[in-house]
Structure 1
Amino acid sequence: MSLQQRFAVALLDPELECPAQLRAWNGSDPAKRFAVYRNNVLSSLIDALAASFPVVQQLVGENFFRAMAAVHVRNSPPRSRLLAHYGAGFPAFIEGFAPAASLPYLADMARLELLRIEAYHAADAGPVASDALATALATPERVGALCFQLHPALGVLDSAFAVVSLWAAHQDERPLAGFDPLQAECALVQRRGLEVEVLGIRPGDARFIQSLQQGQPLGQAAERALARDAEFDPARCLSHLLGSGAIIQFAYDNQGQCP
C-alpha cells in the first residue's frame, strides 16, 4: 500500500496512527497536525450529509444524526470530489443501522431527500410537443403501444410510511400531529425551473410512472397500475405529466417493450 493510500485509510479510521512517513515542514509533530486534519475531513463529510438530509436530521436530532453519519462516512467515504452527490448509500445504511430501528420510516425519508437532490441536479430537458402527443393519444388502436421518455428530474417513491406528510410537516406545510407515520404513501418528486416539488400521489399513479420509467409501453403500464389500484385514472395521470413537462419524448413500439 502506498503512502497516499495509507494516508487516506488512516484519515477515516481513528484506530490507525498517523502514517510514519509523514513529516511536518517545520519539524513539528506530524501526528498532531494529522489529528486536526482527520477531524476536519470527518466533520466536513458529516456536514455534507446534514445539508443533503435535513429532515432526517430533524427527525433524530443533531447529535444522533452526526454520530450515525460518522459511522457511514467511515464505512463509505466519497468516491467523487462533488460532495453534492455524496450520500447515495445513506438510505440503505440507515435501514440497517440498529440504533435507528425505532424510526422505521427514517430510511424512506432519506430516500425521498435523495430523490430531491437527484432531481435538482438532473439534466434539463424540454417537454414534448403537446399537440403531437394529443394526436397520438387520440388514435385508440395504437395508444397502448405508445412509449414515453420521462424527464430525468422525475422521481417516484412508493413507501410503506407517510413520507409525504412527514416531509410537508417539516416544511411547515402541515401540522406534525394528525397523521399516522406508519400509513403508506407514495411521493412524486419533480422539478419546475429550479424548484423541486414533493407531491403525494395514488399508488396506481406511482406504479404507472415507475412502469413508464422502466420502459414499458402505455398499455402495459396502465394494466400494472390498475392491478395495484382499481381507482387509477390514466387520463388524469397523463394530464399531470404532460402539464408539468415531465414527458419529453414519445414513440411507438410493436414488440411489447419500448426502445
Structure 2
Amino acid sequence: MQAGFAASLLAPDLPVPAGVVGPRGKKAGKRFAVYRNNVAVGLAGALGDIFPVVRKLVGDGFFRAMALVYVAQEPPGSPLMFEYGQGFAAFLEDFEPVSQLLYLPDVARLERAWLDAFHAADVEPLDPGALGRVAPEALAELTFTVHPATRIIDSDFAIVSIFSASREDQDISGIRPRQAQSALVTRPGDWVEVRGLPPGASTLFKALIAGVRLGEAAGDALAAHPQFDLPAALAAMLEAGVFIRCAARAPAGSLSA
C-alpha cells in the first residue's frame, strides 16, 4: 500500500491508491489531488533552492513548470532533500525548451557541485607549507589525497562567470557564454569557494586527484599547455584547500601532513 501511495503521488495519470478514502468512505479523488499537488510543488520548490542560478536564468515561472516535469520523471531517492537533483543537469541536456541555452546543463553541474561541497565532510586542508618541508629531489614523487569538498567542472562555456555574476545579482549580458572555463569548487574554511582555473590547472589537479605523481601530472599539464604556470598553480592549490594530505614515495622524503 505504501509503495502504491508513493507512486501515485508523483504520477497524475495513476488512480487514487486502493484503500485511500474520504470521510465516511467517500471517494478521495479531490483530496488526494490536493496532496499530490502539494508534494509536486514542494519538490519543485526544493529544486529551485538547489539550483538558484538556473532558476534565475530561465525565470521563476518557467523554472517551476520545468521542475514539475523533472519531478515527475525523477522522484527523490533519498529522504535528504539536499541530495535531490543529481540528474537535473542531464535532464536539461534533453529538455528541448532550453536547448538554445547550451551552457545551462554545465551551470547546473556547477551548482550541484557547490551544494555537494557544502555538505562534504569537515577535514582540515593540507598545510600550505607542506611542500616546503619535502626534500627537493622527492617533490616529483609526491601523491595527494583530495579534500572531500573538492570538485572540478570543465565546460565549453563561461560557467564560472555566469555562476558568479548570477549569484551576485550582476548583469550577465556582457558575458561571452562560449568562452570555455574550468571551475574549481573547494571549501577550505566554513564556506564554499568557486574559482576559475587557468589553462593547465584543471589537467594538473584532476591528475593529482586520480593519484598521479606530481612530476608526471605536471609534465602532462605542461605538455598540453606550454605556458602553464606550475608554481602559481601549486600555490593556488594549497591556498584553496584542494587536498588534505601528501606523501612522497621516496623514503627519505616521505611526508604526511
TM-score (norm 1): 0.90
Amino acid aligned to 2:109:
R
Q: For 2:163, which of 162, 167, 172 is the aligned residue?
A: 167
Count of residue pairs the alignment pairs up: 250
Q: For 1:51, which of 49, 52, 76 is the aligned residue?
A: 49
- SS of residue paired to 1:203: coil
How many angstroms apart in 2 are the aligned matches of 1:187 and 1:128?
20
The answer for the alignment partner of 1:124 in structure 2 is 122
Native 8 Å contact 2:187 2:241 kept in 1: no
Judged with a 3 Å threshold, the aligned counterparts in structure 2 of structure 1 residues 220 and 26 are, in CA distance, closer, same or farther, namely farther
- SS of residue paired to 1:170: helix
Judged with a 3 Å threshold, the aligned counterparts in structure 2 of structure 1 residues 6 and 173 are, in CA distance, closer, same or farther, namely closer
Structure 2: segments with no counterpart, 5+ residues: 251-257
How many angstroms apart in 1 are the aligned matches of 2:170 and 2:204?
27
The answer for the alignment partner of 1:194 in structure 2 is 190
Native 8 Å contact 2:186 2:241 kept in 1: no
Judged with a 3 Å threshold, the aligned counterparts in structure 2 of structure 1 residues 175 and 51 are, in CA distance, closer, same or farther, namely same
The answer for the alignment partner of 1:103 in structure 2 is 101
Give the deviation of 1:200 after TM superposition.
Answer: 1.2
Native 8 Å contact 2:127 2:238 kept in 1: no
Pair 1:76-2:77 in alignment:
no
Give the deviation of 1:46 after TM superposition.
Answer: 0.6
Pair 1:139-2:136 in alignment:
yes
The answer for the alignment partner of 1:232 in structure 2 is 228
The answer for the alignment partner of 2:253 in structure 1 is none
- SS of residue paired to 1:186: strand
Native 8 Å contact 1:158 1:203 kept in 2: no
Identity %: 44
How many angstroms apart in 2 are the aligned matches of 1:143 and 1:25?
75
Judged with a 3 Å threshold, the aligned counterparts in structure 2 of structure 1 residues 39 and 174 are, in CA distance, closer, same or farther, namely closer
The answer for the alignment partner of 2:154 in structure 1 is 158
Native 8 Å contact 1:165 1:174 kept in 2: no
How many angstroms apart in 1 are the aligned matches of 2:15 and 2:187?
46
TM-score (norm 2): 0.90
User: C-alpha offsets along residues 188-230 of structure 1, whole Å, 9 cap, x if unaligned?
Assistant: 1122433212111113111111111122111222122223322
Give the deviation of 1:84 after TM superposition.
Answer: 0.8
Segment drifting more, 156-165 vs 23-32: 23-32
Segment drifting more, 81-90 vs 162-171: 162-171
How many angstroms apart in 2 are the aligned matches of 1:130 and 1:64?
45
Q: For 1:248, which of 236, 244, 248 is the aligned residue?
A: 244
Native 8 Å contact 2:125 2:188 kept in 1: no
Native 8 Å contact 2:121 2:149 kept in 1: yes
How many angstroms apart in 1 are the aligned matches of 2:129 and 2:222?
27
